[in-house]
Amino acid sequence: MNLSRFSRIGRSLLLTGAAAGLLAGCSTLNYYTQAAQGQLELMSDAKPIDDWLADPGTNPKLRVRLETARQIRRFAVKELGLPDNSSYKNYAALSRPYVLWNVVATPELSLKPLQWCFPVAGCVNYRGYYNKDDAQAYARELRQGGNDVEVGGVAAYSTLGWFSDPLLSTFINYPDAELARMLFHELAHQVVYVQGDSQFNESFASAVEEEGVARWLDRFGSDATREAYERYWARKHAFHALLMKSRKELELVYKSPLPDVEKRIAKARVFTQLKDEYQVLKQSWGGYAGYDKFFAEPLSNAHLASIATYSDFVPAFKVLLERERSFPRFYAAVRRISQLGKEDRHRVLKALGAAAPDDPLVVQRTMASAR
């Protein structure tokens, strides 16, 4: 690491409290420490794309992926009006499959997730760890308290512009359109972010992502790229519908006057049915196993806790973008809405959404991208 890079990192570490909050903050010193160390290591490992491309030892496949990412990044600035800053202009090769692991928890007979609050990010429904063992240890604590818990790997996350978010080995090999989708989504979080309003934040980023990918495919997509993305989108939509079906069934169970023992029996039945129906869906995909990791741990309420939250207002934001006719005007309108109180903000978006045509929904689970 050269001195100038060390200096930048040193200045950035003055904001480690904020970084911890963005990764689902907690008041414990150990949690802050692992968050700060994880962010420092990530920044230390990252090198400019130009350095990787100039290195004759860079793998040819990686070279192509970095060139593609750089083209997508330029498109994001020029055509989508997304921030022209240092995010996603560096690359870090990690020795793990995910950049971090998120812990999500709910009560045993509820789909309402537990929350952790921090002044920068507001209240969030997950807690992030750079080490899987640390995440599993905290999950055990939560389970001992009687909660349902899921530990899910995260390929990418946004620090909302506090740090220079790098490209990572955890997602650099995604197909082109999926890579574009992820970068557009994460950069959108740097444009507008409202503390404690995941519905607003994730729906906004998803709307930018969807329109951005459509425009990127029009410009750069081959027939094969478009067909691959259509298959990806169709699977994602079908999986989302399956999860929403199970979630609605559980909501009815938990709201019912049944005694807890019967609610537990019904809960187990819903999850067994979910697994069986997923196998049927998987067969219809020709055996595609991209969502198998969702079932890596025993199913629980935590798996479904956030599934309905992050796409609720996507149609509303699409209507707003069409009305404003340009991304700069759209972002200005979104900022104005973001300054309203939460109740008024949601009322405006619901009114906009009422004018939207039916559109497939997107699964966004605590910043983790199921592919």
pLDDT tens for 73-86 read 999 999 999 999 99
Does 4 score more than 60 pLDDT? no
Residue 5's pLDDT band, with cuts at 50, 70 and 90, is very low
37: helix, strand or coil: helix
Contact 187, 83 (CB under 8 A): yes
With left for phi above 0 and alpha for psi between -120 and 50, is residue 349 left, alpha or beta?
alpha
User: Of 146, 139, 163, which is closest to residue 108 (Cα–Cα)?
Assistant: 146
Q: What is the pLDDT of residues 98-147, one digit of tens each?
A: 999 999 999 999 999 998 876 556 678 889 999 999 999 999 999 999 99
Does 334 score more than 80 pLDDT? yes
Does 370 score more than 50 pLDDT? no
Does 342 score more than 80 pLDDT? yes
User: Rounded to a whole number, what is the distance in angstroms from the first to the last CA of the chain?
Assistant: 34
Residue 266 has which token pair? 């019904």
Distance, CA of 5 to CA of 20 (rounded, Å) = 21
Q: What is the pLDDT of residue 306?
A: 79
User: Of 320, 325, 115, 358, which is closest to residue 200 (Cα–Cα)?
Assistant: 320
Residue 30's pLDDT band, with cuts at 50, 70 and 90, is confident
Q: What is the pLDDT of residue 35?
A: 85
Domain limits, the chain: 3-165
Q: What is the pLDDT of residue 119?
A: 55
> What's the mean pLDDT in 211-217?
97
User: Of 293, 311, 153, 303, which is closest to residue 243 (Cα–Cα)?
Assistant: 303
